[in-house]
């Protein structure tokens, strides 16, 4: 069973050649330092708005000197209520660039261990927050599987427990999908997003709430995980839709962060 694209031709180009070119252009245009991420936070809006910021994180995957076998994708559900975390029973997540296999063995291990994880394909089918991450991964990685998880009514501890259960320091990449503040004016958004970024840089998970980031539960769970494993956090981009598309009256914030 395949999970078909839900937002192709809406959030990103549905034509494979156009999509590959768009993502490649974003990556080429982004600044790349010498950082090699073990985890990252990237936004999930339409590529027109957040694509350049997401590329600021993903371009650093070119620095990895070892293969990534598994990508753990965690993001918020926007349409369907989820109690705990939602796994997918699909064998593949499909984009215009092809099919990405789902690690069902990892799902089985998670559901055997944690009673807050369940298959919920209804939540995954319309959801964009994980789908928009896949083309970046497809272009930059090879032969990887994904563990796609959506959180709803869940806790930072649950997210942290999942990360601990799936973590392999050399072959696993963690991707947290989240935008920052929503629908403030440009100046207000910049202040809120600056405060959120400071909290991320200080591993201050108690200071981040849902008004600051829609993926705050996953972000905070990742921060606690990163602190336990002595991962260093780096902000590599911080902009909003007013920077990428010009309308500064009602913007959405986007940040790109790496954990090394």
Please write the tens of the pLDDT for every residue from 159-193.
Answer: 999 999 999 988 999 999 999 999 999 999 999 99
Q: What is the pLDDT of residue 246?
A: 81
Q: Estimate to the nearest angstrom the gap between the alpha carbon of 121 and the chain centroid.
A: 19
Q: What is the pLDDT of residue 81?
A: 93
Tokens representing 185 are 């004016």
Q: pLDDT-derived band of residue 249, with 50, 70 and 90 as boundaries? A: very high
d(CA 72, CA 146): 6
pLDDT in tens, 190-234: 999 999 999 999 999 999 999 999 999 999 999 999 999 999 999
In contact, 158 and 114? CB cutoff 8 Å? yes
In contact, 66 and 168? CB cutoff 8 Å? no
Q: Is the pLDDT assigned to residue 94 strictly greater than 90?
A: yes
What are the CB-based long-range contacts (under 8 Å, 24+) for 228-233? Answer: 229/167, 229/169, 231/38, 231/39, 231/259, 231/260, 232/259, 232/260, 233/200, 233/201, 233/203, 233/257, 233/258, 233/259
Q: For the stretch 217-256, what's the b/e string if a residue is b when 16 or more beta carbons lie within 10 angstroms of its beta carbon?
A: bbbbbbbbbbeeeebebbebbbbbbbbbeeeeeebbbbbb
pLDDT in tens, 101-141: 999 999 999 999 999 999 999 999 999 999 999 999 999 99
């Amino acid at each position: 069973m395949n999970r078909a694209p839900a937002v192709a031709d809406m959030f990103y180009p549905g034509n494979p050649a156009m999509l590959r070119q768009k993502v490649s252009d974003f990556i080429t245009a982004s600044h790349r330092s010498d950082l090699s991420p073990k985890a990252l936070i990237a936004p999930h809006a339409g590529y027109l708005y957040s694509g350049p910021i997401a590329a600021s994180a993903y371009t650093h995957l070119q620095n990895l000197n070892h293969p990534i076998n598994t990508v753990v994708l965690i993001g918020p559900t926007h349409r369907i209520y989820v109690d705990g975390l939602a796994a997918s029973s699909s064998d593949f997540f499909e984009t215009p660039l092809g099919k990405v296999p789902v690690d069902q063995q990892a799902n089985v291990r998670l559901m055997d261990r944690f009673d807050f994880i369940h298959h919920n394909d209804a939540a995954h089918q319309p959801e964009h927050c994980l789908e928009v991450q896949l083309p970046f991964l497809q272009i930059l990685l090879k032969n990887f599987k994904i563990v796609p998880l959506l959180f709803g009514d869940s806790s930072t501890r649950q997210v942290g427990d999942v990360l601990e259960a799936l973590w392999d320091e050399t072959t696993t990449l963690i991707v947290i999908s989240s935008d920052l503040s929503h629908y403030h004016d440009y100046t207000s958004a910049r202040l809120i997003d600056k405060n959120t970024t400071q909290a991320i840089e200080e591993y201050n998970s108690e200071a981040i709430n849902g008004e600051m980031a829609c993926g705050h539960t996953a972000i905070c769970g990742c921060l606690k995980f990163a602190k336990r494993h002595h991962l260093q956090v780096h902000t590599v981009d911080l902009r909003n839709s007013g920077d990428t598309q010009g309308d500064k009256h009602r913007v959405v914030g986007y940040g790109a962060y790496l954990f090394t």
